[in-house]
Structure 1
Amino acid sequence: MSDTFAVLHDPDGLIEAELPLDRAPHEALVTAVRAWNDPDLASRDYEQIALQLTGHARAVAADVRRLATALPKSDGRGALAEVVLREADGRLAVPLEGTARCVQNRARLVRALYTRLDRLTEPAPAAT
């Protein structure tokens, strides 16, 4: 085992942008969490699920931000993405709680971010 290591300097997040999101398992988790009806889990279980969703929400938000930034200023999808990203930043700033409500809020956030991501990857609407 080596005692050396390399520090990665990637201030623009280019390496992360090249990695695809692991979307299917997270969408399945979001669907399951949103369908909960009074689950009875331990607080630490809720916290772990919330952490998983929080990390994924941050990754999806980074993709949304990257795509929105690349759009021309005249493309309204960028402005809508900024609204969603501001809301996401505010919701992600709220401390996690070991509750079903907290987990479901994070699941709704992931869903909203994926909806915006999908809109950004669609072809731009034709100008009228």
Structure 2
Amino acid sequence: MSATHVALHDPRGLAEAELPLDRAPHEALITAVLAWKDPDLAPRDYELIALHLTGHARAVAADVGRLAAALPKNDGRGALAEVVLREADGRLSVPFKGTAACVQNRARLVRALYTRLDRLTEAVTAAR
């Protein structure tokens, strides 16, 4: 028996744009991670949490990018979003380590991206 799969060609990310982010569990994870004082997890556990937060950060960043692109070119909020996205891309390109500090940095990044997403959602909604 041979395995088959279908590749979806979606260069503009439209299929992903239709899927809402599952925000509540990620916000709960962020809250828990940022409350850590002296956790004693194995390095692999930190790496798995960082990997999860990295994937979610990329999904939120994609939504931020889509909303920023929906704003008029002369809207400063879109320009600010681009700055935030460049910084996020830079931070996400750094390999994560098996440490609590690394996981907390990823959690702060996701929280900042959610803040930008909320502001852009308000801006796009008001513009309509």
Q: TM-score, normalised on structure 2?
A: 0.93
Flag structure 2 segments of 5+ consecutive residues without an equivalent.
none
User: Which residue of structure 1 lines up, in the alignment, with residue 40 of structure 2?
Assistant: 40
User: Which residue of structure 2 lines up, in the alignment, with residue 114 of structure 1?
Assistant: 114
Matches within 5 A, 1:1-128: 3-123=3-123
Which of 40-49 and 3-12 deviates more?
3-12
* 2: CA distance, partners of 1:42 / 1:3: 36
* 1: CA distance, partners of 2:67 / 2:80: 12
* 2: CA distance, partners of 1:84 / 1:123: 16
Q: In structure 1, what residue type is equivalent to 2:24?
A: A
Q: TM-score, normalised on structure 1?
A: 0.93
Flag structure 1 segments of 5+ consecutive residues without an equivalent.
none
Q: In structure 2, what residue type is equivalent to 1:83?
A: V
Which of 85-94 and 2-11 deviates more?
2-11
What's the CA shift for 1:2? 6.5
* 2: CA distance, partners of 1:106 / 1:68: 22
4+ long deviations beyond 6 Å: none
